[in-house]
Amino acid sequence: MTRRLYLMRHAQARSFGTGGDKGRRLSDNGHAQAREAGERLAGAGIQMALVSDAERTRETFADLQLPDINGVPVHVEFQAALYEAGPRLVLARIAEAPDEVQGLIVIGHAPTIPTLASEFTWAADRSDADMQMCSFPVATVAAFDVDVPWSELGSFDPFDYTGDGAQRLSPVRPAEF
Torsion on CA atoms 89, 90, 92, 97, rounded to nearest 10: 150
Distance CA 80, CA 82 (A): 5
pLDDT digits (tens, 9 = 90+) for 95-153: 999 999 999 999 999 999 999 998 998 888 876 655 555 678 999 999 999 999 999 99
* pTM for this entry: 0.94
Helical packing angle, 112-124 and 126-134, nearest 10° = 160
Q: How much is the pLDDT for 162?
A: 74
**Domain region containing 60:** 3-164+171-175
Counted domains in the chain: 1
Here the CATH number for the domain that contains residue 84 is: 3.40.50.1240
